[in-house]
With several copies, the nearest count.
Chain A
Amino acid sequence: MIVKVQMFGAFRVLGDQIEVKVREGGSVSDLRDSMLQYAQNADLSDLLAVSKFASQSSVLGEDAICSSGEVLAILPPVSGG
């Protein structure tokens, strides 16, 4: 399935939003794995490892299940307004 991920902070170098292929019924953890290639290309794999994923209303745990077509956000460590 395809999960859309909005980019924030340093991930903006990848664009405003990317589409990531994740296995059917995959979790946030799987989404993180699927993003590794993108991150490596931009030298962001260390940042990916410490980033969180969120829906439009909450930060998600690693076990949260992704749905096809869902729009999530990647949240690198925040720098405090």
Chain B
Amino acid sequence: MNTHVEVREFDSNPLDAAEALSFVDAAGNGAGSLFVGVVRNLNQGRKVRAVSYDVFAPLAEQGFAEICSEAQQKWGDDLRLYVAHAKGRLQVGDISIVLAAGSPHRAEAFAACRYLIEEIKTRSPIWKQEHYMDGDSDWVKGHALCGHD
């Protein structure tokens, strides 16, 4: 398999950029593009202390795999792709998502990595609950998921 997709319980096993890079590495690959999403201390003007990620794992992982397959159709079957999304409560600075694309050439690696993050952001059954410094918590407003047909 040249793709790895995963929803991971953050408590038991934090996401790891080095693992992602190592997965997409291959002797023929000259380029690796990696994206890391990290919990910020500020969102829309409110001070954030932590974020809980709720994920419908089976559907999310299936969607990740579909998105990877689309990227390989666009930029080459030889692309190696890695997707991992955290589930659970994360503190500011913790990694919520790691993506990596390995390719013989950099244009494809960048394009694929960018495609993964944009598609995952809009199509994945993932919900964020922000915990603010003032003690409040809120589920972040989102947009409706579409079916595929």
Listed in ascending order, the chain A residues whose CB lies under 8 Å from chain B are 6, 8-10, 12, 50-52, 54, 56-61, 73, 75-81
Contacts and interface: CB of A to CB of B under 8 A. Distances in A.
B144 A52 contact: yes
Contact of B124 (A9, A60, A77, A78): A78
A81 B37 contact: yes
Contacts of A81: 37, 53, 85, 96-97, 120-121, 124, 126, 128
B145 A8 contact: no
B62 interface: yes
Nearest to A73: B56
Interface stretch (B21-29, B72-80, B134-142): B134-142
A8 B148 contact: no
B120 A78 contact: no
A58 B125 contact: no
A9 B139 contact: yes
A76 B142 contact: yes
Contact of A78 (B62, B85, B125, B149): B125
A58 B129 CA distance: 24
Contact of B142 (A54, A56, A73, A79): A79
Contacts of A12: 54
A73 B145 contact: no
Given A9-B127, A73-B59, A81-B120, A58 B145 contact: no
Nearest to A59: B147
A79 B140 contact: yes
A59 B97 CA distance: 23
B2 interface: no
